[in-house]
Amino acid sequence: MREVYIRLAYKALKEGIEIVGPSYFSNKLGVSKPTAQEALIKLAEKNYGDYIPKKGFKLNREGIEKAKEITMKHRLMECLFYELGMSPEVACQEATRLEEHVSTELVTQLRLFFGDRKLCPCGNKIEEEFEDLEVEELEEGL
Ligand SMILES: [Zn+2]
């Protein structure tokens, strides 16, 4: 699974873009549009959201939860690489390259190690808070 797609879809959602098309991902990730589209369809098949033909991908509640997890992992890895002396930008690139290969054990370890840290090197909160959307989703479900 290409976790980076979930993370980027979530980032877009936080910026107000609810449905993200393949070209968004192909621009950000430097992959072809068909590759991006295929990845998005796979994510929908795995129940992380819906793929709306000719429009794009929309995360569902499960997808959002997964995205938060992946985002935290990404930011913990950024902290690690930053400690190794990389710039925030390079730390982010390295984290993107490696994030989906990291075991839960390593994530737990990083979380303990950076336990007192609130922000990643780029200044984002390590633990995502996105309550507004959760409330909205809940209301929709009622
Ligand atoms: Zn960061």
Ion ligand 1 neighbours, Cβ < 5 Å:
78, 120, 122, 124
CA distance 51 to 128: 24
Backbone phi, psi, residue 122, to 5°: -90, 0
Residue 141 lies in a domain: no
- Give me ligand 1 centre to Cα 67, in Å: 14
Any idea what the Cα angle at residue 25 is, between residues 59 and 100, rounded to 5°?
75
Q: What is the pLDDT of residue 128?
A: 80
- Please state the φ and ψ torsions of residue 16, each to the nearest 5 degrees: 100, 5
Residue 136 is assigned to a structural domain of this protein: no
**CA 4–ligand 1 middle distance (angstroms):** 14
| C-alpha–C-alpha distance, residues 59 and 67, integer Å | 9
Which of 63, 87, 107 lies at the terminal end of a domain, its last residue? 63
Looking at the whole model, is its pTM more than 0.85? no
The range of the structural domain enclosing residue 111 comes to: 69-131
Domain count for the chain: 2
Closest CA to 122 of 76, 64, 63, 84: 76
pLDDT digits (tens), the chain, 142 positions? 588 999 999 999 999 999 999 999 999 999 999 999 999 999 999 999 999 999 999 999 999 999 999 999 999 999 999 999 999 999 999 999 999 899 999 999 999 999 889 999 999 898 887 655 554 555 555 4
Q: Which of 135, 137, 140, 4 is nearest to 66 (CA)?
A: 4
| Residue that is last in its domain, among 63, 81, 115 | 63
